[in-house]
Amino acid sequence: MPVSAARKIAYDVLRRVESEGAYASDVLHAKLGAAVRADDAALATEIALGVLRWRGLLDFLLERALKKSVERLDLPVAIALRMGLYQLRFLERIPARAAVNESAELVKRAQKSSAASLVNAVLRRLAAEAKEPPEKFLPAGISLGERLSISHSHPAWLVECWLPRLGETQTISLLRANNRTPRLASSLHHPERRDEILESLRNSGLAVEQGRLLQSAFAVAGGSPTRTDAFRRGDISIQDEASQAISFLLDVQPGDRVLDLCAAPGGKTPTLARCAGRNGLIVAADLHAHRLRATREQFKRLNLSQVRLVELDASATLPFGIQFDRILVDAPCSGTGTLARHPEIRWRLKPEQLRELHRLQYQLLHSALKQLAPGGRLVYSTCSLETEENENVIAEALGNLPDVERVTASEAGLSISPHLADGVEVKNLFDDLGQFHTAPGAYQTDGFFAALLQKR
């Protein structure tokens, strides 16, 4: 029995994610070229990302049938079992026979033919109970954190971090949001041509929706915007709405000297450059040369010739002989605000990494604040939900730098209010200290944090 193109692609994506540490979205982007049929691309994406989101629950159910850990299986066998069970439980339009038989064929394709009968037998057994709610199989007497961890497919340590801080109701809401397919949000690089650009996208066969958080943002469905003329011309980019909002918080003015300190892959820089205008100075810096090369290609597509790219280690003393009016520190982080978009992160992240990230993030912020001009504004942002990476980093910096203070909540709100979509209240985006927050699910965005700081 031949294996469908969609399942081959999904299998190869999952293999690379598990064996090479790749990101599923990057591998899918590389594999789903114009030669791949749209329905195959959609199914491959659904299976690959669905397996990654629900891996914890899938493994729990598989281990009941296997009587041993999935981790003890050869990787091709584990991937085929997860793919088969995901289709049985979550994809109602896929016949059980196809899910089972093609999963067995996948292990043969991976030269693990001896395991094909195991895959077939286990999946047939689990197909009989595929309509049963997973809660039915949970062990008696387990803790709330363990129960939520299994039924919502998240690491137990992460759930147990969120429960005391968010409470049960908000934690469940967050877990559910992380398991939903996110909107494919996009940014508009020429707002004055909005109607023309969106009409072009519709003519390409895409459905276009208004932004939920920002006036200038939009989302598409029914295909990939990267295949459109609007994307190739540099009119649009794929970018989450909360990520787009960060650039507006910096409140760049015409002629400003702007430093985007952790710029790659360059998603936030275009808005900064547009606001600074031709008389502004825009410097985009990053540690990694290969990421800067990708950023340079992005800027070529967008015709951003005025941006200066610099390779540097921003955790050390910065090499600039000038101070900047505006600095963005979009710090490397755990990415726990993006688990719907990058589900593999939840299985890779370890508790000790939060402490390591905190140290790096503080160093980046400390270096950047030394380069900030008096009266200037700095935005520190992450796509993390964790206190260690957000509030604690800001508190440490303010404790050590007496000439730095917070931008007040009212001032912070003024910078973004003109850009918000109808019905979005600015007060709901900021806490009492003027720190910006978005939670996955609220506006169908990723989870972002930002603090606005200024130098006296």
pLDDT in tens, 365-378: 999 999 999 999 99
Task: In whole angstroms, give the CA distance from residue 269 to residue 284.
Answer: 7
Tokens (6 digits) for 9: 């692609």
Tens of pLDDT, residues 74-84: 999 999 999 99
Closest CA to 320 of 377, 274, 352, 367: 367
Eight-class DSSP state of 4: P
Q: What does the mean pLDDT of the chain come to?
A: 96
Q: What is the 3-state secondary structure (H, E, C) of 199-241?
A: HHHHHCCCEEEECCCECCCEEEECCCHHHCHHHHCCCEEECCH
Answer whether residue 276 shows pLDDT above 90.
Answer: yes
Confidence of residue 33 (pLDDT cuts 50, 70, 90): confident
User: What would the mean pLDDT of 3-10 be, rounded to a whole number?
Assistant: 96
Domain boundaries, the chain: 5-135, 147-176, 184-238, 241-455
Give the pLDDT of residue 50: 98
User: What would the mean pLDDT of 312-330 be, rounded to a whole number?
Assistant: 96
Is-same-fold flag (5-135; 184-238)? no
Q: What percent of the chain has pLDDT over 70?
A: 100
Give the pLDDT of residue 213: 98
Q: How far is CA 289 from CA 26, 103, 368, in A?
A: 18, 40, 20
Q: How far is CA 213 from CA 66, 86, 186, 187, 412, in A?
A: 46, 32, 12, 12, 16
Tens of pLDDT, residues 134-182: 999 999 999 999 999 999 999 999 999 999 999 999 999 999 999 999 9
Fold category of 241-455 in CATH: Rossmann fold (3.40.50)
Phi/psi of residue 186, nearest 5 degrees: -140, 155
Q: Is 383 a catalytic residue?
A: yes
Fold category of 184-238 in CATH: Alpha-Beta Plaits (3.30.70)
Residue 335 zone, left/alpha/beta (φ > 0; ψ -120 to 50; rest): left
Closest CA to 369 of 331, 338, 340, 397: 397
User: What would the mean pLDDT of 285-291 be, rounded to a whole number?
Assistant: 95
Confidence of residue 184 (pLDDT cuts 50, 70, 90): very high
Phi/psi of residue 237, nearest 5 degrees: -140, 155
Collapse the DSSP code of 115 into the 3-class scheme (helix H, G, I; strand E, B; otherwise coil) and give the result.
helix
Q: Tell me which residue has tokens 């003015």.
A: 253
Tens of pLDDT, residues 58-79: 999 999 999 999 999 999 999 9
Confidence of residue 224 (pLDDT cuts 50, 70, 90): confident
Phi/psi of residue 229, nearest 5 degrees: -65, -35
Tokens (6 digits) for 13: 């994506």
Are the CB atoms for 320 and 257 separated by under 8 Å? no
Are the CB atoms for 190 and 235 separated by under 8 Å? yes
Amino acid at position 143, single letter: S
Give the pLDDT of residue 34: 81
Are the CB atoms for 308 and 320 separated by under 8 Å? no
Confidence of residue 38 (pLDDT cuts 50, 70, 90): confident
Give the pLDDT of residue 389: 98
Task: In whole angstroms, give the CA distance from residue 352 to residue 13.
Answer: 28
The alpha-carbon radius of gyration of the chain (Å, integer) is 23
Fold category of 5-135 in CATH: N-utilizing Substance Protein B Homolog; Chain A (1.10.940)
What is the pTM (predicted TM-score) of this model?
A: 0.95
Kindly name the residue from 161, 275, 333, 383 that is annotated as catalytic: 383
Task: In whole angstroms, give the CA distance from residue 3 to residue 10.
Answer: 11
Confidence of residue 1 (pLDDT cuts 50, 70, 90): low
Closest CA to 430 of 454, 404, 406, 455: 406
Instruction: Say how many C-beta atoms besides its own lie within 10 A of residue 108's C-beta.
Output: 17
Pairing verdict, β 218-221 and 281-286: unpaired
Give the pLDDT of residue 78: 98
Give the chain's largest Cα–Cα span: 71
Instruction: Say how many C-beta atoms besides its own lie within 10 A of residue 133's C-beta.
Output: 8
**DSSP-assigned beta bridge partners for residue 188:** 236
